[in-house]
């Protein structure tokens, strides 16, 4: 199950409810220490030097508790109560090029701006550019607002305890939080809290997609129609089609603009390819339609935009719209109970809302809900760091996978194709939120898996990983 994104006050309520059952803080700290050590081991190798920075609160206790699980690492523990006094010791360890620093200086209890000596201590750590694992929250960061309180640690990874805190998902916090993971099984009660914003966990997709019946045939898994590809942008159509194949719908037919029909058809085998014509009838017998990848040429016929508007408003099958085709959509309602999905990046979201990228990024959940409201309560996949999935009402899910190396041309085409390949399958259409979350998580996890093994991977490599990953 996903976990709610919560406030500091809610975290305190959760802890109090846990202590009331007889569970002890010491036991939870012990288990948190084990989680910190496990993450530390994943980030380092035997014999590496690890610096544990421990403050005087429970955050420091969590860091100290990790030490006993790191017997095969060289561990330096620095208890920091006076930053001025301990700064020389920090300099000595940093001069030895530690593989990782574990930040356990301040947790969510910090409620005041840091003074100059603490700011100098944290800034010196940041200047070293050493990798930092922050325990629960990067020291100095306000976990409700996401703003640094004078200064904050710039972590490579934040292992937050129990559930993510609201501030950690705010764009202002991203340079300090780095990648975020959740240590959710640390001895606390099952989370009694609710939130409109939910954090996806890898375990959410156990057993998904469901096992296929032994006597199934290609007709059991739908027929995806894709309208994609124009002069100068034919590769987007090829990427989307290959990604759709990785989702394994029964059939796929691709309709590129006629100027790129031959170059696209020559790169596909199992995908049927037919040049798009004004007379092309959609949705026809298709079980889902994807429109948009690579439709960026300036000389596309007006009939293609008209067809997109018609399909969006009236088709009874799922319709997924991506990239340039987003600009063709009509405002307002769609066919009752029809499944609709938009996949904008922040720039495209800004165009849909007639706003700016900075306004979209300032409140991403609000932007998602407004787009959904304007376009018939559709599902929205608002791409970017911690991609959001949701619509005008109900829960919004933040994705936990992915890395900055996904910022390559073609990445969005792959995601759109994979989403469409899943939603073309009738067995998966009953729970579109789960299928969308799974697609986004697989896309990010494929990038994480590639990055862990090679530094120079390209978008085409995602296709070899997509749909074949459980958890890292």
**How confident is the model at residue 257, as a pLDDT?**
97
**How confident is the model at residue 1, as a pLDDT?**
83
- Do 183 and 223 lie in one domain? The reply is no
Structural domain contains residue 225: yes
**How confident is the model at residue 419, as a pLDDT?**
98
- Do 186 and 250 lie in one domain? The reply is no
pLDDT tens digit sequence for 219-271: 999 999 999 999 999 999 999 999 999 999 999 999 999 999 999 999 999 99
**How confident is the model at residue 471, as a pLDDT?**
45
Structure tokens at 295: 């439709």
Structure tokens at 297: 């040429």
Domain tally for the chain? 2
Residues of the chain with pLDDT under 50: 471-472
- Do 441 and 301 lie in one domain? The reply is yes
Half-sphere exposure of 203 (CA within 13 A, CB side): 8
**Domain at 106, CATH number:** 3.40.50.10260
Domain containing residue 330? 218-465
Q: What share of the chain is helix, strand, coil (3-state, %, to 5)?
A: 40, 15, 40
Structural domain contains residue 373: yes
- Do 123 and 228 lie in one domain? The reply is no
Half-sphere exposure of 211 (CA within 13 A, CB side): 3
Structural domain contains residue 205: no
**How confident is the model at residue 469, as a pLDDT?**
81
Contact between residue 336 and residue 314 where contact means Cβ atoms under 8 Å apart = no
Structural domain contains residue 157: yes
- Do 397 and 294 lie in one domain? The reply is yes
- Do 135 and 265 lie in one domain? The reply is no
pLDDT tens digit sequence for 300-318: 999 999 999 999 999 999 9
- Confirm whether pTM is higher than 0.85: yes
- Do 268 and 225 lie in one domain? The reply is yes
Using CB atoms within 10 A of its CB, is residue 365 exposed (0-12), middle (13-18) or buried (19+)? middle
pLDDT tens digit sequence for 396-434: 999 999 999 999 999 999 999 999 999 999 999 999 999
- Do 261 and 172 lie in one domain? The reply is no
């Amino acid at each position: 199950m996903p976990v709610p994104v919560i406030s500091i006050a809610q975290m305190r309520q959760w802890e109090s409810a846990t202590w009331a059952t007889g569970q002890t803080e010491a036991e939870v700290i012990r288990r948190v220490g084990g989680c910190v050590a496990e993450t530390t081991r994943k980030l380092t190798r035997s014999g590496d030097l690890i610096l544990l920075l421990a403050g005087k609160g429970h955050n420091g206790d969590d860091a100290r508790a990790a030490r006993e699980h790191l017997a095969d690492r060289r561990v330096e523990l620095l208890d920091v109560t006076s930053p001025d006094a301990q700064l020389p010791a920090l300099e000595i360890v940093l001069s030895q090029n530690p593989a990782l620093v574990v930040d356990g200086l301040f947790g969510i209890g910090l409620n005041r701006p840091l003074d100059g000596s603490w700011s100098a201590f944290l800034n010196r750590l940041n200047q070293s550019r050493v990798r930092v694992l922050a325990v629960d929250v990067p020291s100095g960061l306000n976990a409700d607002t996401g703003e640094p309180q004078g200064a904050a640690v710039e972590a490579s990874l934040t292992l937050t305890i129990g559930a993510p805190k609201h501030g950690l998902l705010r764009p202002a916090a991203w340079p300090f939080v780095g990648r975020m993971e959740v240590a959710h099984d640390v001895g606390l009660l099952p989370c009694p809290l609710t939130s409109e914003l939910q954090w996806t966990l890898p375990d959410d997709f156990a057993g998904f997609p469901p096992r296929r019946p032994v006597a199934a045939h290609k007709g059991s898994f739908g027929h995806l129609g894709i309208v994609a590809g124009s002069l100068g942008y034919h590769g987007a159509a090829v990427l989307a089609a290959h990604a759709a194949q990785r989702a394994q719908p029964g059939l796929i037919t691709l309709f590129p603009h006629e100027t790129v029909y031959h170059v696209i058809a020559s790169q596909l085998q199992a995908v049927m390819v037919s040049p798009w014509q004004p007379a092309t009838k959609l949705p026809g017998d298709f079980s889902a339609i994807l429109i948009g990848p690579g439709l960026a040429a300036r000389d596309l016929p007006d009939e293609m935009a008209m067809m997109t508007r018609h399909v969006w408003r009236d088709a009874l099958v799922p319709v997924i719209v991506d990239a340039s085709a987003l600009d063709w959509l009509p405002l307002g309602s769609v066919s009752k109970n029809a499944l609709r999905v938009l996949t904008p990046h922040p720039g495209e979201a800004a165009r849909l809302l007639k706003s700016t990228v900075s306004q979209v990024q300032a409140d991403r959940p609000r932007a998602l809900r407004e787009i959904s409201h304007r376009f018939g309560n559709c599902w929205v996949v608002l791409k970017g760091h911690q991609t959001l999935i949701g619509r005008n009402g109900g829960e919004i899910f933040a994705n936990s996978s992915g890395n900055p190396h996904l910022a390559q041309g073609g990445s969005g085409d792959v995601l759109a194709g994979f989403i469409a390949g899943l939603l073309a399958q009738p067995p998966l259409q009953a729970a579109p939120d789960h299928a969308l979350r799974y697609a986004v998580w697989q896309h990010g996890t494929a990038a994480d898996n590639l990055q862990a093994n090679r530094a120079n991977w390209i978008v085409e490599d995602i296709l070899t990983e997509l749909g074949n990953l459980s958890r890292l």
